[in-house]
Amino acid sequence: MKRVSLELYSVRNEMRKDPEGTLAAIRAMGYDDVELLWSFGNFGRTNEQVKATLRNTGLKASSAHITPQLLTTDWQKSVDAAAYLEQEYLIVPSLTAEADKSLDEWKRWADIFNEAGAVARKGGIWLGFHNEPNHQKPIGGVVPLDLFIERTDPAAVRLQLDAGNMRMGGGDPMQYLQRHHDRFWSFHVKDVVADNSKDTDLGTGTVDFRALFASLRDADQKLFVVEQEGSPAPLESAKRNLQFMRALRV
């Protein structure tokens, strides 16, 4: 496991107050990669400012979370921006509210992803999709995430498996990884408490990350993004979570 990143949503309040100082603290912990939040406007920073801060702190930003609307609004501009920031992945974490009730919306978005993903590949970028808990909730007897996976083109769209979100939604991350191993190229490493109601420090919850990641045939090629959304001390949790990742040795 060579590539460990931190999802900046984990430290969103700190980033709002002091983005440069927070990124410096993340680097000092030992992280060398972060997942940007384009969906938060990069906390009011321009691409030029983001790139300068990454360079000054010695961090990479291999991935970013983006809004789905970008796929249909001057998408090439986003692809070019990702290339400027030397990113590998632009990942959509969730779809619009209409998709919560409509399989047709999921089909429509899957087709949009295929088209946008093909454009991204020409620019050297991968388009990705991340699972939320409600993506496991059946619509008309069909699990929408399953439909999306089947309808999207592996040559254009890669998937980010959020193990904690899947557990919260009632799914089994190991089963999904076994069924779709070659589709998952990045992971949100998020642990959850026993009743699946919230996340917690890595190693203190119910997700067996050692078994999950040991099942990967090519772990060194994957991107592992640490995320904890509800910690009362986000920077302290981020440091402990990195120590957990280093101790996994898979």
Single out the residue of 65, 104, 103 nearest to residue 87, CA to CA.
65
Alpha-helical segments (H) within 30-143: 47-57, 75-84, 103-122
- Domains of the chain as residue ranges with CATH: 4-248 (3.20.20.150)
CA distances to 53, 56, 72 from 194, in Å: 39, 41, 39
Token pair 């919850």 in the structure block, residue: 205
pLDDT score of 249: 73
Do residues 122 and 155 touch, judged by C-beta distance below 8 A?
no
Backbone dihedral angles phi then psi of residue 137, each to the nearest 5 degrees: -80, 115
Q: Which long-range contacts (CB under 8 A, 24 or more apart) does 189-195 make?
A: 189/163, 189/224, 189/225, 189/226, 189/227, 189/241, 189/245, 190/162, 190/163, 190/164, 190/165, 190/226, 190/227, 190/228, 190/229, 191/163, 191/164, 191/228, 192/164, 192/167, 192/168
Q: What is the average per-residue pLDDT within 142-151?
A: 98
Q: What is the pLDDT of residue 141?
A: 97
The pLDDT score that the predictor gives to residue 75 is 98
Examine the pLDDT at 221 and tell me if it is beyond 70.
yes
For 22-38, how does the pLDDT look when each residue is reduced to its tens digit (9 = 90+)?
999 999 999 999 999 99
CB 184, CB 177: distance < 8 Å: yes
In this prediction, residue 250 carries a pLDDT of 62
Mean pLDDT of 106-119: 99
Return the pLDDT at 59: 98
Please provide the DSSP assignment of 126-194 as one string: EEEEE--GGGGS-BTTB-HHHHHHHHS-TTTEEEEEEHHHHHHTT--HHHHHHHSGGGEEEEEE-EE-T
Per the CB < 8 A criterion, the answer to whether 7 and 225 are in contact is yes
**Residue at 46: amino acid letter:** T
Instruction: Assign 218 to helix, strand or coil.
Output: coil
Look at residue 85 and tell me whether its pLDDT is greater than 80: yes
State mean pLDDT over 70-94: 98
User: How much of the chain, in percent, has pLDDT values that exceed 90?
Assistant: 97
Residue range 158-208, pLDDT digits in tens: 999 999 999 999 999 999 999 999 999 999 999 999 999 999 999 999 999
As a whole number, mean pLDDT of residues 122-150 equals 98
